[in-house]
Amino acid sequence: MVCFGPKVFLVRLFGAPSWYHNVIQFRLKSVSVTPAPAQWTVTTITKRWYHQPHPPDTVSPPGKLKRYLVDNCVRFAESYERFLEKRYPKVFEVYRMFKVGIRDFIADTRMYYNVTTELWTGKSLNCFSRKELEIYKQYPKDVWKVSPTLIISALPFANYVVFPIAYMYPKWFLSPHFWSDKHKEMIWGEILAKRMNHCSPVIYYLGSQCRHMDEENPLKEKLQLAISKLKQTHQLTVDEILTLKPLFEDYPCHINKISIAYLRQLAMCNGLSMRRSKLVDDTLLLHYIDLAMGREGIENLSSQDLAKACYDRFLNPVGVPHKEQLSHLCQWLEISKEVDENSLSLLLHLPVFLSYNQPMDFVTKLDIIVQFF
């Protein structure tokens, strides 16, 4: 502060930011005072800042008090969560089910968006992993099922009504992301039992197609023998199934050569769309999932992924040893590897050829019917 009689000349230097050099240069031209009336001459002050090329990190670690408070809050939340789990196990089970379900649903949403975006850019289905293709196949069904529940639960106080109802009827209001292991076993087993009811009509229509074949066709006798073994509850071997492959590349069993009634039974047996064009797309996607599973190795599947793969390929894994589950998938993948876009109909018949006469399936089917009816 510089004082000249009644007049005050104040120079205030504001602090520079911490990431600048406080290098300041002043140039004072002149300061002169004349008798009354006092007059000021022009005063020039130059203040220069020099930028530092690499500013230092000014973020300091949290102090001891902050660390103490945060650690205690985390420990309190964990202990309170354990208390709720012991005191209210049923309520906590519902809470954890929806918490984990929403987390998995969001993760699948991101993966489905990434796969769809890459497909739009021209990427082939053969370039994706098994997990990505399974989500791409299943996610559209899941989002239509679970979206109404999540939207309605966002309304004020609606979650107190929606979540208990959804928990009581998970098959209708929730996707598999929110199902417990018990729910998955029960619901997937029920779906598999309903799919089995369409195997007998498929065998009937297959025999009807066989009767329209020429007598000179050498594969007619082999197809008749295969149908006879199926009716006698015998399984076909992989070689016997692959021998019949030419019948599914053209008439009489190509997917575009069969009747609408035959097509509907075949689609419901596989749990796929009953529209012919959509059925072709779904079957092709299932074929690429098989190829991806073969590349990655079925021995690397988790127990939950292995069970889901068996359900999708017409084998109920409940009570089936792990080795037999792997054996069934190996046979399925061995046949699927020989299938191309022209013989997709053979892949649709695999539930009948390879899995229909599994003894465990019939026992499980009867148990489910008794349980639900």
Contact in structure between 252 and 219 (CB atoms under 8 Å)? no
Contact in structure between 19 and 58 (CB atoms under 8 Å)? yes
Q: At what angle do helices 89-120 and 64-87 cross, to 10 degrees?
A: 110
Contact in structure between 130 and 278 (CB atoms under 8 Å)? no
The pLDDT, as a whole number, for residue 34 is: 47
- CA 226, CA 206: separation in Å to the nearest integer? 10
pLDDT in tens, the chain (373 residues): 444 444 343 344 444 444 444 444 444 444 444 454 545 455 555 555 545 555 555 556 667 777 777 777 777 677 767 776 677 777 777 778 888 888 999 999 999 999 999 999 989 999 999 999 999 999 999 999 998 888 888 888 887 788 888 888 998 999 999 998 889 999 999 999 999 999 999 999 999 988 888 888 889 999 999 999 998 888 899 999 999 999 999 888 999 999 999 999 999 999 999 999 999 999 999 999 999 999 999 999 999 999 999 999 998 898 889 999 999 999 999 999 999 999 999 999 999 999 887 754 444 444 433 343 3
Write the Ramachandran bin of 272: left for phi over 0, alpha for psi from -120 to 50, otherwise beta.
Answer: beta
> Pick from 131, 128, 124: which is nearest to 107 by CA?
131
> Pick from 128, 135, 129: which is nearest to 111 by CA?
135
Rg (CA), the chain: 36
The pLDDT, as a whole number, for residue 201 is: 93
Other Cβ atoms closer than 10 A to 102: 14
Helix (H) or strand (E) holding 19: none
> Pick from 225, 94, 104, 208: which is nearest to 159 by CA?
94
Helix (H) or strand (E) holding 137: helix 130-153
Spatial neighbors of 192 by CB under 8 A, at least 6 apart, are: 311, 314, 316, 361, 364, 365
- Joined together, the tokens standing for residue 357 give 């006469």
The pLDDT, as a whole number, for residue 62 is: 67
Q: Is 258 exposed, middle or buried (0-12, 13-18, 19+ CB in 10 A)?
A: buried
* DSSP secondary structure of 251-297: TTTSTTTS-HHHHHHHHHHHT--SSHHHHHHHHHHHHHHHHHHHHH-
- CA 347, CA 249: separation in Å to the nearest integer? 11
The pLDDT, as a whole number, for residue 330 is: 95
> Pick from 262, 237, 240: which is nearest to 251 by CA?
262
- CA 355, CA 332: separation in Å to the nearest integer? 9
The pLDDT, as a whole number, for residue 371 is: 40
* DSSP secondary structure of 191-213: HHHHHHTTHHHHHHHHHHHHHTS
Contact in structure between 171 and 187 (CB atoms under 8 Å)? yes
The gap from C-alpha 204 to its chain's centroid, in whole angstroms, comes to: 37
